[in-house]
Structure 1
């Protein structure tokens, strides 16, 4: 709902439990009024009538209070918008009009239009409140409205939004950091005066940070307290800067690009639309914030989110590059026998790809390994009752490939410089029309050549030599590569609506709201160690739902990383917290292991609707000896519990459950034992876990 007051210069957006208000002064300054609990339009107008604080020394009255601070005028905060022409730098806008667009199920949108008469730039600020949520999507559109004889305008920086928070005695910042194989590590730190900047200079979202922040007054817990949070829908380089100002206000700006060196050069008639920077206020702690983000993504971001994701088998760790049609058939038979629903052939099926130094870019089946193409194997997999999937890495090319030999100029490179090779590969420039056309032809032909149901889309190196020789504004590569990726994925999905896509970037290197709007799930991390995964999955859950979080059971000891030995039970329960997958060498599993795997997969299918579509409660964090999560959906609830190790033979504390009806009783689906809701809520559930690396699943249904 969007209300307008103050003679058309006060706007109030209200969601299910929160409100957001802003006003325009007589000098066309767009000021923030409120972001928090629901208020009325009369309340917003009363806030708008309050004068700004008096002038103090060298401080600006606008800093921290503007909805979209621009460079220029009496402002000293980090600007959201920096523009320049040969003659002038900065922005000085004039308000033109507002528009309210009723969007039905998608939500209502407020648009505020401004114009800079010197640079001929039109600025539209968008606010969309998604129906049924408290998530506010914000973005900006910058257009060059001058005639043919006017100078182009360079957007040095064009952030999606600035979020303003009220004065509090103390502020705390939460964010997710990490590296390859240790992604999504949750950090909560006091916010000191000055700026805290996170982002990526790598050309993709990156393993180092997820584009999400949360702020609280230092008093929020898992299930209590106010939390302000924001997430950026962008899959390239990005930056979020959080600043605690001298007067105690907090402002966060964020958008595409890692610096202020330039995003886009706008010629007359051209425009640039920023990615969405979405924000959310909740008063139920970090848990309520996560559940609201999950519900928003399931309803408005993730394609086909109402459908559950199948149990997957991936052949990578079983075969690596030793791929053969006979070997894949043997794995497929084992996978089908234990209950797998989707069989995926990983790297090594195409071109001359018998090792990691050749073949990328040549997306046709290896004639020695698949003499009749992929269709015979795909048909066999379908006959076994499973879907069929493949691995691709379309944005990359090996120098040892037919594609590179034919088109060495299609990669990103700087003239006169050595071309950096990570993993023996270079990055194709998807900003080029001819590159995208080639990839479309290759991938469309591939998807028509066999009954392929699933594509694992990988991206295994960062930008290093991001040059585009010959282009009049090569800096645009950083933005246009991502737009090219989005366009290619959108085109493929439209042409092949039955094919699901996974975003994989060496694990968690490309996970954000932008890529999630075009893919069905993501590969969370290359780290499949079941203990390490608990912390990674805990951080991931702060913003993203279990419905997209792929998690594999692999062999023990875990040879990829730390050689840790763990039981099949512990590995399965760890992976059942998301979209369950198997990545071990099933041909080498014993009959006892296969039997146990079959039982766990059957059990997962029973709880899958609750895990993938239910509300998440983090009962105890992975930093504790006993950790647990709970999912609630309708009359059912599922608890997954993990014990790192037992000390001194002491029993583990009971798990106090959440989200249940205290007046109801709940039956254990496996044993039939009846539990009272009030007892589970206030006294807890005894897990009975013992020893080292023990785990359990509990499934209750309301009577």
Structure 2
């Protein structure tokens, strides 16, 4: 039993194998009692109970779904505007239910269970007697994971319309904890997922996106930690939003030394009209507790998202090694050129060829044809089917790039349906990359995209799709919505996207979908529910990727991280790095190449052949193992991480040094996650070195490292448990 109830005290105890979360009903208000390491449930829990009555002031009480206007002056979790213009509601407890397993969220992605015994769900009913507003707070606790998911369903049970102005997914009050630090991921295009850690003080520390997408600037994730928390030690409280649109997350420290953390849809420019009988479902917030530092938190997220968020054929299957033609040709290609790259890839052991942008309409640059999803017969005289067949004949599968959410003003689709883009009548339609955003709130638009893509998928043997989205939302309005619902457009866009993704991935389960948004602009759990991997960044420079992939791993599993070897000088920063270094970085994720293989020398081709062969041996472990971060690229010249099998019988260790060091000291790398009782045979990735070490020694003393006097050193090691 994961949810225990004490009726006499109003206490709800949600318990997993290593965590407890407690709620108490006091004077009709659900209050937050505890979240942390596992506590035994006892008949008497008086030492934990809140005895302060609500009449003492809501501003002093730790609440589960706080409101504004009745004495709590901190940020509320929700706000509703009534038909008379007032904005005062007061939710009070109205009952509860315990459900075995985890119900799905209508129209929204969420983590799930495969067996009802994995989790239990507590639903708390709240009601505002005056307006008829009802809220169901949903808490799912997994029995064997330190995870709680939270969401809210707001319903209008009255006889008059009301308008939601704020509807967050989760709010947690940490009583008396004002000395916390907030960890989050920030950046921009081509430099995503920079790890930021800073103390929070009285006032607010906030991250958000107003871009209609989760954004390059901030990922929909944050963690609260203590000042003593490290990668391996101390407490971490993680919050991750399963959503792909505008969001907000933040910590507010009040004058009494308590911290309120809240997360959900961005309240800026948001409103949702609820007519009598209508409901609104918030996205899901996934909350993780770790007593083993940030690393323990990350591994909990990785296992959950890899196995209970991602779905479909490729969730547990090894991902193919691909070559993408984008940086090899950009828009300048023909069928023969594409097939020549595939032929070379086949000789090197590559398994999938991906045709990127430029194959449709009259697409010779960024400024046309989005929306015209039919092949360009100038470049491809035999069409896509001909290219796919020729690629398949080389023994490679065929993949294809799309940007289905966009429309070019210079396109047949726009000339026929100029009202199909997001726009506001009488206002200019601001373009980015010479494109506008299709109005996915409209069913006819989604149907057009579904029919266009389906026609290709049923006539061409497409095994992989890269689904791109290259700009944020502007002029967020819909010609299909009435005036009173225009502020719903951004969220309805995301709901429309999810509806289309559910439909198309269900219809074509054999296709491996990879999401992309100019790289990592929409690397979020919502997209992972439909597409099990994401193009992590448009920046393919190996040195920059050390930080990008390391930061991304704070929340997302290696199986979700797309990583390619590209040409030098690098197209984003102009850096020259060795092919071995580029390969080792990319082999830390879903491995592939994005360059012209036909231009490689025989020596370079032999290096690629070895990389491909090696990755095929280790990719099952890389993509499905447990990640341990050893050295942070944000702190110095070195980076290192390792991936360990669940039974701890195998491991892969990666090590990188960016610049050479004069007169270096002897070095060793302390490992993690191994069984201290086992002996491990350690073999260098080049196969030339082998030694045996105890797991205890590798974790306490470290793995000795050789040193070469050169920039951009890298290497990887394979560990296997042996019997002496």
Aligned equivalents of 2:525, 2:143: Cα separation in 1: 17
Corresponding residue for residue 514 of structure 1? 526
Corresponding residue for residue 69 of structure 1? 66
91, 94, 111: which one pairs with 1:93? 91
Contact 1:641–1:687 (CA<8 Å) still a contact in 2?
A: no
Contact 1:546–1:612 (CA<8 Å) still a contact in 2?
A: yes
Equivalent positions of 1:104-115 (< 5 A) are 104-115=116-127
* 1:280 maps to 2:294: no
* 1:205 maps to 2:214: yes
TM-score computed with the length of structure 1 as normaliser:
0.96
- SS in structure 1 at match of 2:319: coil
Change (3 A) 1:657 1:406: same
Shift of 1:525: 0.5
Corresponding residue for residue 701 of structure 1? 720
* 1:683 maps to 2:701: yes
Equivalent positions of 1:340-351 (< 5 A) are 340-351=350-361
Contact 1:344–1:391 (CA<8 Å) still a contact in 2?
A: yes
379, 383, 386: which one pairs with 1:369? 379
Aligned equivalents of 2:386, 2:590: Cα separation in 1: 28
- SS in structure 1 at match of 2:173: strand
235, 238, 244: which one pairs with 2:244? 235
Corresponding residue for residue 276 of structure 2? 268
Contact 2:179–2:201 (CA<8 Å) still a contact in 1?
A: no
Shift of 1:216: 1.3
124, 137, 154: which one pairs with 2:149? 137
Change (3 A) 1:155 1:61: closer
Aligned equivalents of 2:270, 2:210: Cα separation in 1: 13
* 1:433 maps to 2:443: yes
Corresponding residue for residue 226 of structure 1? 235
Shift of 1:169: 6.2
Change (3 A) 1:640 1:49: closer
Aligned equivalents of 2:638, 2:697: Cα separation in 1: 20
Contact 2:15–2:143 (CA<8 Å) still a contact in 1?
A: no
Corresponding residue for residue 293 of structure 1? 301
668, 682, 685: which one pairs with 1:654? 668
Shift of 1:557: 1.1
Shift of 1:241: 2.0
Change (3 A) 1:64 1:416: farther
Aligned equivalents of 1:435, 1:377: Cα separation in 2: 29
610, 613, 619: which one pairs with 2:621? 610
Aligned equivalents of 2:462, 2:152: Cα separation in 1: 38
- SS in structure 2 at match of 1:45: coil
Shift of 1:298: 1.5
Shift of 1:445: 1.2
Corresponding residue for residue 52 of structure 1? 52
Shift of 1:494: 0.9
Shift of 1:688: 1.2
Corresponding residue for residue 32 of structure 1? 32
Shift of 1:306: 1.7
- SS in structure 2 at match of 1:374: helix
Once the two structures are superposed, what CA deviation does each residue of 1:382-416 show, in whole Å capped at 9, x if it has no partner? 23222211000111000111110011001111111
Contact 2:178–2:259 (CA<8 Å) still a contact in 1?
A: no
* 1:80 maps to 2:80: no
Corresponding residue for residue 455 of structure 1? 465
Aligned equivalents of 2:142, 2:398: Cα separation in 1: 35
Range that drifts further, 3-12 or 533-542: 3-12
Shift of 1:355: 1.3
Contact 2:156–2:278 (CA<8 Å) still a contact in 1?
A: yes
569, 576, 579: which one pairs with 2:587? 576
Contact 1:618–1:629 (CA<8 Å) still a contact in 2?
A: yes
Corresponding residue for residue 406 of structure 2? 396
Aligned equivalents of 1:44, 1:283: Cα separation in 2: 25
TM-score computed with the length of structure 2 as normaliser:
0.93
Aligned equivalents of 2:505, 2:551: Cα separation in 1: 29
Aligned equivalents of 2:153, 2:451: Cα separation in 1: 32
Aligned equivalents of 1:253, 1:64: Cα separation in 2: 15
Shift of 1:8: 7.5
Corresponding residue for residue 542 of structure 2? 530
Corresponding residue for residue 590 of structure 1? 601
Contact 2:138–2:150 (CA<8 Å) still a contact in 1?
A: yes
Aligned equivalents of 1:335, 1:316: Cα separation in 2: 15
Corresponding residue for residue 495 of structure 2? 483
Q: Which runs of 5+ in 2 are unaligned?
A: 102-115
- SS in structure 1 at match of 2:317: coil
Corresponding residue for residue 113 of structure 2? none
Corresponding residue for residue 639 of structure 1? 653
Change (3 A) 1:77 1:652: farther
- SS in structure 1 at match of 2:270: coil
Shift of 1:536: 0.8
Range that drifts further, 270-279 or 605-614: 605-614
Aligned equivalents of 2:721, 2:297: Cα separation in 1: 26
* 1:159 maps to 2:168: yes
302, 305, 313: which one pairs with 2:310? 302
Shift of 1:310: 1.5
Contact 2:24–2:49 (CA<8 Å) still a contact in 1?
A: no
Aligned equivalents of 2:300, 2:480: Cα separation in 1: 47
* 1:337 maps to 2:347: yes
695, 711, 724: which one pairs with 1:692? 711
Equivalent positions of 1:10-21 (< 5 A) are 10-21=11-22
Contact 1:626–1:652 (CA<8 Å) still a contact in 2?
A: no
Contact 1:643–1:689 (CA<8 Å) still a contact in 2?
A: no
Aligned equivalents of 2:578, 2:366: Cα separation in 1: 32
Shift of 1:115: 2.0
Change (3 A) 1:449 1:676: same
Change (3 A) 1:469 1:64: farther
* 1:668 maps to 2:668: no
Contact 2:160–2:275 (CA<8 Å) still a contact in 1?
A: yes
Aligned equivalents of 1:474, 1:284: Cα separation in 2: 46
Range that drifts further, 130-139 or 478-487: 130-139
Range that drifts further, 106-115 or 387-396: 106-115
Contact 1:350–1:364 (CA<8 Å) still a contact in 2?
A: yes
* 1:5 maps to 2:23: no
Shift of 1:443: 1.2
Aligned equivalents of 1:90, 1:323: Cα separation in 2: 62
Once the two structures are superposed, what CA deviation does each residue of 1:581-618 show, in whole Å capped at 9, x if it has no partner? 10011121111111101101111122212211111111
Aligned equivalents of 1:105, 1:443: Cα separation in 2: 39
Change (3 A) 1:168 1:89: closer
Aligned equivalents of 1:279, 1:50: Cα separation in 2: 23
Contact 1:339–1:602 (CA<8 Å) still a contact in 2?
A: yes
- SS in structure 2 at match of 1:182: coil
Q: Which runs of 5+ in 1 are unaligned?
A: none
Change (3 A) 1:105 1:522: farther
Aligned equivalents of 2:45, 2:381: Cα separation in 1: 73
Shift of 1:62: 4.1
Contact 1:521–1:550 (CA<8 Å) still a contact in 2?
A: yes
- SS in structure 2 at match of 1:160: strand
Change (3 A) 1:48 1:641: closer
